Amino acid sequence: MQVPATLSPSSISLFRTCPLAWRLDYIERLERTPSLDANIGTFVHAGAEALCELPPARRTIDEARAVATAAWATHIEDEEWQSLEIAADRVPQVKWRAWRAVQRWFELEDPGAVTVAGCELWVHGAVGGVAMRGIVDRLDIDEVTGGFVVTDCKSGKMPMSAYQDERLFGVWVYAHLVAEEHTSRPVTKVRHLYLGERPGEVIRDVTPEALATTAEVVTSTHREMVRACASGEFETRKGVLCDWCSFKPSCPAFGGDLVALLTHGTRRVERRKPVDENQQTLAGELAIAPVGR
């Protein structure tokens, strides 16, 4: 077994949560149970991206409603939505939930007042000596400092304060990667916008210490991944997230038959295009030129 050549923040986070779940997901590439929360998140992200591509004056709630209505018709035709097998009488409730997330976005900020440098940007590079990649939801310009703000919208509820910092791990990795590609404009903030039932914003100033801590986490987790892949031993870590784990029915920590899963489980077909087809440099996609250009 080998650690994938390039890692994403979610891969690192999953290994830290449970090494066995990481193996089943990222090494064995076993099918996961379709998730309604993830599906709603995809819809909200796509809508927010479409709206942010409009001129600021057009980023209104009425325009958002028009964008969301048109996008919903396409969304429910998608294979991922179909796999959820939502009963027809539940669809209006799910649609309302998705729309409420969009409304909460407008309650948290005025999208027309945000200077958006780019949306859904591929970033890649080395963090702590490990090759990392990912997609930045939104890169904004901080009106005060002129620096970049790495913003990620979450369709779930805002976590309690004790868990907020660990959830920011992905945007810290992106702060590293953006800073590496764009030295002419500093990355000054990382931010999560939670659009679920308990909405809110979590924002942190970027400091060299915080970036160094992120890099250390990446390096040490990668080291543990290499060790686990070499030995074939992947620990189970029971916790609150087990209830959302696709592999729980086969997990040995819950009396499941892991060997049967590894032997007969369905492997995922990769839906995403290969990285080099998608991958564009950040500089090539930015709507706002970096400072000094």
- Min separation Cβ 293 and ligand SF4, Å: 46
| 3-state secondary structure at position 90 | helix
Question: Could you tell me the smallest distance in angstroms from the CB atom of residue 32 to ligand SF4?
Answer: 11
- Pairing status of strand 200-205 against strand 148-154: unpaired
- The DSSP string of 233-267 is ------SGGGGG-TTGGG-GGGT--HHHHHHHPPB
Residue closer to ligand SF4 by CB (options 20, 48) is 20
Q: Which residues bind ligand SF4 (CB under 6 A)?
A: 18, 20-21, 236-238, 241-242, 245, 247-248, 251, 253
Question: Tell me, what DSSP letter sits at residue 78?
Answer: S
Tokens of 79: 């294979």
Which is closer to ligand SF4, CB of 12 or CB of 193? 12
Q: How far is the CB of 26 from ligand SF4 (least distance, A)?
A: 13
In 174-198, which positions are buried (b, 16+ CB within 10 angstroms) versus exposed (e)? bbbbbbbebeebbbbbbbbbbbbee
Residue 181 has, within 13 A of its CA and on its CB side, a CA count of 22
Q: Which H, E and C letters describe 147-163, residue by residue?
A: CEEEEEEECCCCCCHHH
Q: How far is the CB of 163 from ligand SF4 (least distance, A)?
A: 16
| Closer to ligand SF4 by Cβ: residue 174 or 234 | 234
Shorter beta-carbon distance to ligand SF4: residue 230 or 241: 241
Calpha distance 254→236 (Å, rounded): 10
Minimum CB separation from ligand SF4 for residue 240, in Å? 9
Cβ of residue 233: shortest distance to ligand SF4, in angstroms? 14
